[in-house]
Structure 1
Amino acid sequence: MKTGKIGLFTIAIGLVVALILLVRLVFVPSSQQQVKTLAKAIKNTEIASVVPDFGAIKVVSDKKTAFFEFLRPSIKHQNAIIQDERNFLISIKNQVNNGKTLTEADEFRLQQISEKYQYTLRSLTITNIDILLVRVDVIPEEMVLIQAANETGWGTSRFAREGLNFFGQWCFRKGCGLVPQSRTQGLSHEVALFKTVEDSVASYMRNLNSNAAYSLLRSIRADLRAQNKTPRAQDLVYGLINYSERQEAYIDELLEMLRQNQRFLVDNNEKTTAV
């Protein structure tokens, strides 16, 4: 008799658990599904962790083409992530404009984006969202490619080959990266190490979009957006004045590289699609 009662009780518990699981599957928040769909949509299938031997490519035009094509997938992927974050912020701005209350999922994602771009969102106002939108914006692909070419000698530098660092980014904890052979005595910085090219590009873009040193770049970009113009590499390069100690000379060099390498900067896939 006792065994029978225990059996019925166990069956009842099992039915309750099954019902709970069914409810969770049926009523799972749509925002979670959207996140999964989005992640799939912007997934980068060409993440690289090994740098080709660009120095072995003797034909200069072939080397330039190979270098740009190697970096392009990671740049496109990171810009796709940033554009999605920007679209989300614009949708939040519209909700606030219309007096709608945000969901917990929206509030959580908004907080994540604010932290990523080092902005403290003290209150949910149109003004504060607009300030955040100045930071959350794409970086012109041509500018990223040219700066990477400049910083790494077309992918041949020690920092690119050994540390997957394509933008000369520093770190300041002993052992965090590679020690520059030409480091001035008394300085302690190292050149950061990255696990993948994707990580290097992501860190570089986040730096330009959040570091106070590049507020001019973000201001130029925001002004162009306000005029309904698409920010171009030759426009935003001037915002890199603090990227190098060479300042104006560095800007002039990047502009000259943009001019000289225009034919290599064309995305062949996009060109083919357009035709």
Structure 2
Amino acid sequence: MKTGRIGKFTLALGSVIVIIYGLRLYFLPTTVNEQHELVLTAKNRQQAQALPDFSAIKDIPSRKQAFFDYLRPIVQKRNTIIGEQRSFLTSTQRTLEEGHQLDNAARFRVKKIAKEYQFSFTRINKKTIRNLLKRVDVVPIDLVLVQAANESGWGSSRFAREGLNFFGQWCFTKGCGLVPSSRTKGLSHEVSVFDSVEDSIASYMRNLNSNGAYRLFRSIRADLRNQGFEPAAAELAYGLINYSERQEAYIDELLDMLRHNKKYLVKK
């Protein structure tokens, strides 16, 4: 990445965030009955049957292309939804800059979007919309696809097969998902189970766009947009330093995957 395109404030913010989120927070589990666990198990089996068996494709190039081609239209759909929300907010921003008042319908939609992106505010004004726009923005398709491949083992992991979880997302209530077989003693997190692949992708994007751990990701994206650049996967990958405990090594891995899978990432 050409760091010259990213502002000094963003880089300084990154250093602070790395320190703050060096330690992860875990929540105490709550009780869950056996019936819920049985329902979850049955649901897992149904989901495993619905997902294409990518591991059955022995030719590696064909497997990679099949994996990316399967997820790409779903990612595009979610980005389209985010793009529509962003267009509305941009239009709202222009209305306010021109000195006009928002009608009740516009105000209601702003509040609804803010709630979805976990953004708190006291009143709707130009600053509110400007800060909300930092969250309501698309995620480059290449970055989503490569991270999905990395986190799910090209769709072959247990969590992808049984929980349609392609991004290793956690939940913190007992019985909320699948228990990792390698979970460190004393920890209580589980791996989230989703009703559909689209739900998994939507949750992942919402996480990047709202979680405090990815403030650097959003800052880099906003910084590039302010300079007139379209944020690219290789640049935004640096904002994912808190996505994995491996931090810099994880970013290097994503960048390496982006470089080595260019021909598969191109839509056929």
> Do the structures match in fold with TM over 0.5?
yes
Determine the structure 1 residue equivalent to 2:134. 134
Write the deviation string for residues 42-64 of structure 1: whole angstroms up to 9, x where unpaired.
xxxxxx99211111000000000
Report 1:141-152 matches (<5 A). Answer: 141-152=141-152
What stretches of structure 1 of length at least 5 have no aligned partner?
A: 1-47, 269-275
Rounded to whole Å, the distance in 1 between the matches of 2:205 and 2:109 is 19
Q: Secondary structure at the match of 1:75?
A: helix
Q: Which residue of 2 aligns with 1:162?
A: 162
Q: Distance in 2 between matches of 1:89 and 1:192?
A: 31
1:177–1:191 CA contact under 8 A, matched in 2? yes
Q: SS state of the match for residue 204, structure 2?
A: helix
> SS in structure 2 opposite 1:231?
coil
Deviations 1:245-266 (A, max 9, x none): 0000000000000000000000
Letter of the aligned partner of 1:120 in structure 2? S
* Separation of aligned partners in 1, 2:176 and 2:124: 37
* Residue in 2 that maps onto 1:246: 246
- Which residue in the other structure is 2:24 paired with? none
Counterpart position of 2:19: none
SS at match of 1:135: coil
Asked if structure 2 preserves the Cα contact closer than 8 Å seen for 1:49 and 1:197, the reply is no
The CA distance in 1 between the partners of 2:108 and 2:50, in whole Å, is 35
Determine the structure 2 residue equivalent to 1:123. Answer: 123
SS in 2 for 1:70: helix
Give the Cα separation in 2 of the matches to 1:202 and 1:50: 19
User: CA–CA distance in 2 between the matches of 1:121 and 1:245?
Assistant: 32
1:217-254: CA deviations, max 9, x gaps? 00000010001100000000000000000000000000
How far is 1:99 from its partner? 1.7
**2:217 paired residue number:** 217
SS of the residue corresponding to residue 52 of structure 1 reads: coil
Instruction: State the alpha-carbon separation in 1 of the partners of residues 92 and 197 from structure 2.
Output: 32
Aligned partners of 1:98 and 1:231: how far apart in 2?
28
Distance 1:150 1:142 in 2: 12
User: How many matched pairs?
Assistant: 221
Aligned partner of residue 120 in structure 2, secondary structure: coil
Structure with max Cα Rg: 1
Q: Name the residue aligned to 1:193.
A: 193
| TM-score, normalization by structure 1 | 0.79
Question: Deviation at 1:145?
Answer: 0.2
Equivalent-residue separation in structure 2 for 1:229 and 1:259 (angstroms): 20
Once the two structures are superposed, residues 170-226 of structure 1 have per-residue CA deviations (whole angstroms, 9 ceiling, x without a partner) of: 000000000000000110000000000000000000000000000000000001000
Deviations 1:56-97 (A, max 9, x none): 000000000000011111100110010000000001101111
| 3-state SS of paired residue (2:191) | strand
The offset of 1:98, in angstroms, is 1.3
DSSP 3-state at the match of 1:191: strand
- 8 Å Cα contact 1:55-1:156 kept in structure 2: yes
Letter paired with 1:139 = V
Match of residue 108 from structure 1:
108
Answer 1 or 2: higher relative contact order, Cα 8 Å, separation at least 6.
2
Q: Distance in 2 between matches of 1:103 and 1:180?
A: 49
Q: What amino acid does structure 2 have at the position aligned with 1:66?
A: A
The RMSD of aligned alpha carbons is 1.1
Q: Which residue of 2 aligns with 1:87?
A: 87
Q: How does 1:34-113 map to 2 (within 5 A)?
A: 50-113=50-113
Unaligned segments of structure 2, at least 5 residues: 1-47
Aligned partner letter, 1:141: I
SS at match of 2:229: coil
1:4-34 CA-to-partner distances (Å, cap 9, x unmatched) read xxxxxxxxxxxxxxxxxxxxxxxxxxxxxxx
Letter in 2 for 1:171: C
Partner of 1:175: 175
Tell me which stretches of 4 or more aligned residues in structure 1 moved more than 6 Å. Answer: none
Find the counterpart in structure 2 of residue 13 from structure 1. Answer: none
